[in-house]
Each structure stands twice: as structure tokens, then as C-alpha cells.
Amino acid sequence: MMPAIARPQAILFDLDDTMWPIAPVIAAAEQRVHAWLAQHAPRVAAACTVEDLRARRLALLGSDPVFAADLGALRRAGLELAFREHGEDCALLDAAMDEFHAARNAVTLWPDVLPVLSALRPHVRLGTLTNGNANLAAIGLDQHFELSLSAREVGVPKPDPAIFHAACAALGLAPAEVLYVGDDLLLDVRAAQAAGLRAAWMRRQGSTAALAHGVVPDLVCTDFHDLLAWLHTTQA
């Protein structure tokens, strides 16, 4: 039975693994970049596998607090280290990152996402809040949201309460008036609740994730249709 709580004034959505599966997208993007490197920076491609480049990024993550909030900057910094180490032209870094972003934004939405976003828009304000670097305009989703905010723009990533508060402030709403929807129990659900928002856990069909760490979502959905059905049961 759906919880009987007041209708939110706005719904904010996580993106990766909430609106589309992200693992295959990143894997394809990294392979595309490596193929590009083989043509344009062959010494890097010969010396570094995709896994090697990933390990470089992870090793850099704790070296600068900027990287936690800007995954694009982290990826570029990892590539720059490899370019310098193997004597390739760093002027090519922008083109390499363009290759990555083109593939990173080639996502496949879950089929419930578009129809439900269209159905939600007349009833509630919509926005997105992400730690990632998806480009909603490139994906073709930006017209559904009045606000799209990333960790890079705010300067801190989830689970920091500041990123949630920045989104609420941009909407002109108190945190309690906003529902956050995401797939991650800790970064999305627990973090949003700790910042004063209500939180919906998007537990898609087939997910084996279980409630843990004492997290109790305000709402559990298996897809966006569940979210729409719940909204229709709430009191304005």
C-alpha cells in the first residue's frame, strides 16, 4: 500500500541507474576512447589498457577535493598523466574528452521514463540532481525539467547535504517540500533524508538490493509508473 503523505511541491531525480542503466554506457564510452587513443595517441593506447586508465583515475581521486565533485575533471586528469608519461600531445586531450562525452550521453532510457515524465509535468515541478556528468540537452531530456544541477556546479557531491539544499534553494522550496528519487540507498535515499527531503528508492525490477544500514525510504518504487501512481494518491 502506498504511503499516505502530502504531495511534494517538486520531485528531484537522480540520473544514472535511475533513468537509464549506466554501467554499459561507461564501458562503451571507455572502449571508444581507447580506440580513439589507438589512432591519435598510440603510445598511450599501447601502454595503458582501459583498466589501467581506470586505476589511474581511482588513484587520483583522493588527491584533490575537486575530483569528488567533478568526474569529468578527474577523467581528464587521469588521461593527462598518461599523455605526459608516454610523450603524447596534451593538446589532444579536449578531443579525447569529446569522444568520451559523446558516448557517455548515448544512454538508453528505461521505457517507463519518458511517458511518466510527460505525465508528471502538469502536476508537480521536476528537476534533476546528480553526481555525474550526463548532458540532458545532448540526451534530449532537458525540456522536462526546470532545474538540472550537478555536483560539479555546486562544488560538492552527494551525500553532502549542501548539494540537496542548493537544489531546494534554486527551486525556492523548503527541503520538506521536495521528494528526491534515486536508486542508491545511501547516496540518494539516506543522504536526501538527512538533508531534510523525503526520498523515494527507485528499486527497479530484478534489483537484488535490500534495505540496509537502517535506511527506511519514504516510498519504494519499481519503476516510474509506481511513482506516478503514488502521486495520484497524494493530497495536494
Nearest to 153 by CA among 142, 167, 139: 167
Specify the pLDDT at position 216.
92
The alpha carbons of the chain give a radius of gyration, in whole angstroms, of: 19
DSSP 35-97: HHHHHH-HHHHHH--HHHHHHHHHHHGGG-HHHHH-HHHHHHHHHHHHHHHTT--GGGHHHHH
The whole-angstrom separation of Cα 142 and Cα 134 is 11
What is the distance between the alpha carbons of residues 188 and 12, in angstroms, rounded to a whole number? 11
Pairing of strands 10-13, 125-130: parallel
At residue 211, the pLDDT reads 72
Output the nine-digit C-alpha cell for 191: 543522504
Per-position pLDDT tens, the chain of length 236:
455 567 899 999 999 999 999 999 999 999 999 999 999 999 999 999 999 999 999 999 988 989 999 999 999 999 999 999 999 999 999 999 999 999 999 999 999 999 999 999 999 999 999 999 999 999 999 999 999 999 999 999 999 999 999 999 999 999 999 999 999 999 999 999 999 999 999 998 766 666 777 899 999 999 999 999 999 888 55
- The C-alpha cell at 82 is 598518461
The two most distant CA atoms of the chain are separated, in Å, by 63
Distance CA 2, CA 140 (A): 31
Q: In whole angstroms, give the CA distance from residue 74 to residue 213.
A: 29
All structural domains of the chain, each given as residue ranges with its CATH number in brackets, are 10-21+108-233 (3.40.50.1000), 23-104 (1.20.120.1600)
User: What's the pLDDT at 1?
Assistant: 42
